[in-house]
């Protein structure tokens, strides 16, 4: 709870962030461990995630929680794009949006920018807030740091590309597995705390299976229904077009819906803390 409060008040440190340091370490190891096969990727992930868990055994839980959570920084980035849209600076909003998403933002209109922000807020509320709380509650600081290590490796090598199709397989699959409970809890809380519970549940049940991500799909669909907007559709990634499932039955989102998504994400994060804190505080068998 102290770590959650620290993230809400201060967010991520501007310099010497532990996750950035881990990324540097992972990139250095990759120069030694890389080969275009699955087995070296399994070893790469095992060494780094296992090392993070061992480090967690010597790290106070509050400090590990603050280092791992990213809710405050996520909200700041979403707000920055929102302010640029409100000021009528669409080119600036497109550029700032690249801090949140990996898709090509150069041709997005206001609705496209708003959609991308809301999708990022939804998915990263699960990845950077709820899922870490779940693993921290279950396994303490080792769970927190191991989860963040796996999630960071997925972002670094887990995407489909000629270089990482095989080497990044283990990182992608492990991240999918570890995010399974957090994404379902996030989607469930979005249903309970959103503006339209019935629409949120309907969108989750009907639309999530068509999303290419087994974890982002339920979360984004639940947010779409809860907010009464339409998410998903076609995204462009470095010249590659991905036609995603349309999520929700609502209208196209606008800049005002970013505020609503940020508020829903804040409620979901706080509710996730209230759900997981009693688990963390349960009596331990000796």
CA dihedral 104, 110, 115, 118 (to 10 degrees): 110
Question: For residue 176, what pLDDT is reported?
Answer: 96
Token pair in block for residue 126: 């699960």
d(CA 243, CA 240): 10
Can you list the residues of the chain whose pLDDT is less than 70? Answer: 14, 239, 284-286
Q: What sign does the CA torsion over 185, 156, 43, 149 have?
A: negative
Question: For residue 286, what pLDDT is reported?
Answer: 54
Residue pair 150/49 in contact by the 8 Å Cβ criterion:
yes
Q: What is the pLDDT of residues 44-82, one digit of tens each?
A: 999 999 999 999 999 999 999 999 999 999 999 999 999
Domain boundaries, the chain: 2-280
């Amino acid at each position: 709870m102290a770590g959650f409060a620290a993230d809400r008040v201060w967010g991520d440190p501007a310099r010497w962030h532990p996750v950035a340091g881990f990324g540097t370490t992972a990139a250095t190891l990759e120069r030694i461990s890389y080969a275009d096969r699955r087995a070296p990727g399994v070893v790469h992930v095992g060494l780094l995630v296992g090392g993070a868990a061992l480090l967690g055994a010597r790290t106070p839980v509050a400090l590990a929680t603050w280092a791992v959570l990213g809710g405050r920084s996520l909200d700041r980035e979403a707000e920055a794009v929102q302010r640029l849209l409100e000021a009528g600076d669409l080119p600036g909003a497109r550029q700032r949006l690249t801090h949140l998403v990996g898709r090509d933002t150069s041709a997005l209109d206001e609705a496209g920018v708003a959609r991308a922000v809301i999708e990022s807020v939804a998915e990263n509320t699960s990845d950077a807030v709820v899922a870490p709380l779940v693993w921290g509650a279950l396994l303490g600081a080792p769970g927190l740091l191991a989860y963040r290590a796996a999630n960071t490796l997925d972002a670094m090598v887990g995407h489909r590309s000629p270089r990482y199709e095989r080497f990044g397989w283990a990182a992608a699959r492990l991240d999918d597995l570890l995010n399974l409970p957090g994404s379902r809890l996030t989607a469930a809380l979005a249903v309970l705390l959103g503006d339209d519970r019935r629409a949120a549940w309907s969108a989750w049940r009907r639309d999530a299976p068509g999303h290419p991500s087994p974890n982002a799909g339920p979360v984004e669909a639940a947010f779409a229904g809860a907010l009464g907007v339409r998410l998903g559709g076609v995204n462009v990634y470095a010249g590659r077009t991905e036609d995603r499932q349309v999520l929700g039955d609502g209208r196209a989102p606008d800049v005002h819906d970013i505020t609503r998504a940020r508020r829903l994400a804040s409620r979901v994060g706080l509710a996730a803390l209230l759900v997981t804190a009693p688990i963390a505080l349960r009596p331990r068998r000796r």
